[in-house]
Amino acid sequence: MKVEKTNIEGLLIIQPDVFKDARGYFFESFSKKKYREIGITYDFVQDNISKSMKRTIRGLHYQVGEFAQGKLVSVIEGKVLDVAVDVRFGSPTFGKHEAVEVSSENKLQFWIPPGFAHGFAVISDEAIFHYKCTNLYSKQHERSIIYNDPEIGIDWGIENPIVSDKDLQSKRFNEIQQDFTYENLGELK
């Protein structure tokens, strides 16, 4: 497996070893031992799958406190632009984002640790998206940032996106609370 660090500390792009032959392909989508070796030492406790149509934007979501989540994301079918935004106060990349095209074709995985807001835009006709989470979902601990906040400046590459009413009610980046600090994130493991 190949691991690429991004311009934002903590975010990783992972390319699993894919074995192809006349029948199709095979790859390990997760191995606790291998992922610990690359620094992902969290335990995963919940897997989620969503299906969305073209032009859908989901996010930008994160959880705080005892329910802070890391996510290992991938696409089972289709293609998305996956985005992580640094919400760690005091981080040298606070408010910056990383965008990665993740698809069933390239089989990339994107590791997003606690301290990041996450979202994606569907750029294929539809997409089946897989989230491997390090904590359970908690409505009371869920936070979100509006997807089109000009302070973050994400180019989703989509005109007339389909966004849930809930996501349209999200806060602006400059309204978020100091739920994560860059220095204290080691305590979340």
Catalytic residue among 61, 97, 118, 130: 61
Whether 137 is catalytic is: no
- Give yes or no for a contact between 95 and 180, defined as CB atoms under 8 angstroms apart: no
Whether 97 is catalytic is: no
Catalytic residue among 35, 42, 131, 147: 131
Taking Cα atoms as reference points, which of 9, 120, 142 lies closest to residue 75?
120
Taking Cα atoms as reference points, which of 119, 132, 109, 141 lies closest to residue 42?
132
Q: What span, in angstroms and rounded, lies between the C-alpha atoms of 18 and 1?
A: 9
What is the Cα 137 distance to its own chain's centre?
Answer: 15
68, with CB counted inside 10 A (0-12, 13-18, 19+), is buried
**Which residues are annotated as catalytic?**
61, 131
